[in-house]
Structure 1
Amino acid sequence: MMDSTASRQEFPTAASMRFQKLLQLSGAVVLSALWLGAARAATGGEPAAAQIDVAACLSAAAADDMDKATPACAAVIDNEKTAKPDLIRALVARGALLAQHDQIDRAIADDSRALLLDPGLADVFNARGELWLKKGDKPKAVQDFGAALRIDPNHEKAKANHKAIARELERIGAQMAVAGKPSFNCAGARRPVEKAICGNREFADLDREVYAANARVLREARNEGEARKLQREQDDFIARRNAGFGRPGYDLKKAMQDRLQRLNGVDGY
């Protein structure tokens, strides 16, 4: 069996790919600083200030080494002299590492601080959106995915995330809109069982689910004959429900639950 370390190396995660980008940027910063220091020394200018070692933070985070990354990144993030670009890189790197280790709240805090420093980071908005999603905060997640897309309309991951969560929110909204409403119009309810269903949210939801499940199996029937047979079963259930309601021992909730289970079992659902 391939060990987990080899697997991570062969199939890099999105977070590790982001670390590689950060390391490349860090290298450019270090080279720039060295060139500037050499230029000042050659012209007799002031000596360059000591460079904060952001590369150590980035490399430790990319290697998923929490023991090394924790002090290395803290040294950069907590230093008041750290240049803004390096501070952002360290925050993003540490945030991604924390997310990998399921320290969601701390990861969100780092990403949020990075976004305050530079609100044009589409990748970080998307990353924070995924963290909000892990916390179950779908409204905040969709806001962050949307922010990423406003910055970069072609951000593929943000597009996929935004589409998926928007559909989920739409589905939840649709469910809330019909919650507590049965499959029929309560204004026309005449039978005692219909009035009981209209007066009980749980009964109303069950009635609507039974109706929807029956409609599904009818659509998926292999032929017209099978569809007629399935509809007769539903009609028989309604007739037994109407006749049995109110009699000693009749359990309306159980009758609807049994019918729903039978419908959902017709095609293996």
Structure 2
Amino acid sequence: MRFTVPIEFSGAVLLCALLLGAAHAATGSESAAVAQVDIGPCLAAAAADDMDNAGPACAAVIDNEKTAKPDLIKALIARGALLARHDQTDRAIADDSRALQVDPTLADVFNARGELWLKKGDRPRAVQDFGAALKIDPNHEQAKANHKAMARELERIGAQMAVAGKPSFNCRSARRAVEKAICANRELADLDREVFAANARAVREAQSMRKPDLDARTLQREQDDFIARRNAQFGRPGYDLKKAMQDRLQRLNGIDGF
């Protein structure tokens, strides 16, 4: 199973919150003793998905030493979300990371950065960020969903790694030459396990009547015939064990609708 996460969803939530915060600040009663850096154009351009204007507008806020810390964080988050939507993942991670350096209590940003790490295929860092978000906010729904999905994915990968290179039978009891050949070759061992699993799935489907056009006994008989032919023909001139196993797997997957 390929795991995917709604990166645009997290970015949209962050941008919406930032715009609301900016609007509240603009109507506030506090009078600044020092001229404030205007963050409005940055947030507006980011929310409008306007890369051309968001770049310079947000840079003017982020690169200005006089920018107040809250505005710096907002600008970094806004630009990071925009960059993420435009598949500039590394730059988005950099902005989120800088925002977290300024304020390491931002659960939303940890979750958003975790989704970006996941997009890059870095599962350990993704899990770490989702966990950090939950440590800050145990009720963060998106982080909980992401962390749970990642835990399942890592469990699945671990299970696959545990059986990688192992056939469907115990190599210690292998007696036939073909079985020993399968045990000695990781690719053949994986193929054997996949053939066994695909056949079991097809038989199970037939028995459950979800595929009434298939007879479970006929399917198992075909598998038994394949094993018998494999055992008899292995080692003979022209017999390609790998191709025979691949053909059988393709046949089974076709039967099962995969």
RMSD: 1.8
Higher relative contact order (CA 8 A, sep 6+): 2
Q: Which moved more, 1:50-59 or 1:104-113?
A: 50-59
Distance in 1 (alpha carbons) for counterparts of 2:65 and 2:208 = 74
Matches within 5 A, 1:239-254: 239-254=228-243
Q: Find 2:31's aligned residue among 36, 44, 51.
A: 36
Distance in 2 (alpha carbons) for counterparts of 1:68 and 1:19 = 16
Code of the aligned partner of 1:15: G
Equivalent in the alignment of 1:156 = 141
Code of the aligned partner of 1:35: E
Q: For 1:133-163, what per-residue CA distance to the aligned partner results, in whole angstroms no more than 9, with x for missing partners?
A: 1111122112111221222222222222222
Distance in 2 (alpha carbons) for counterparts of 1:144 and 1:81 = 30
Q: Find 1:15's aligned residue among 11, 14, 25.
A: 11
Matches within 5 A, 1:30-179: 30-32=26-28, 35-37=30-32, 48-179=33-164
- Are 2:13 and 1:24 aligned? no
Distance in 2 (alpha carbons) for counterparts of 1:24 and 1:94 = 16
Code of the aligned partner of 2:128: Q
Distance in 1 (alpha carbons) for counterparts of 2:174 and 2:27 = 79
Distance in 2 (alpha carbons) for counterparts of 1:31 and 1:98 = 29
Code of the aligned partner of 2:256: D
Q: For 1:99-118, what per-residue CA distance to the aligned partner results, in whole angstroms no more than 9, with x for missing partners?
A: 11111111000000101111
Equivalent in the alignment of 1:257 = 246
Cα contact 2:11–2:112 (8 A) shared by 1: no
Q: How many residues align?
A: 247
Equivalent in the alignment of 2:5 = none
Distance in 2 (alpha carbons) for counterparts of 1:232 and 1:75 = 73
Cα contact 2:207–2:216 (8 A) shared by 1: yes
Pairwise CA distance, 1:223: 6.5
Code of the aligned partner of 2:120: K
Percentage identity across paired residues of the two chains: 76
Structure 2 residue runs without a partner (length 5+): 1-7
Distance in 2 (alpha carbons) for counterparts of 1:71 and 1:222 = 64
Q: For 1:3-33, what per-residue CA distance to the aligned partner results, in whole angstroms no more than 9, with x for missing partners?
A: xxxxxxxxx955334222102212333444x
Code of the aligned partner of 1:148: A
Q: For 1:235-269, what per-residue CA distance to the aligned partner results, in whole angstroms no more than 9, with x for missing partners?
A: 11111110000111111001111111111111321
Distance in 2 (alpha carbons) for counterparts of 1:144 and 1:243 = 55
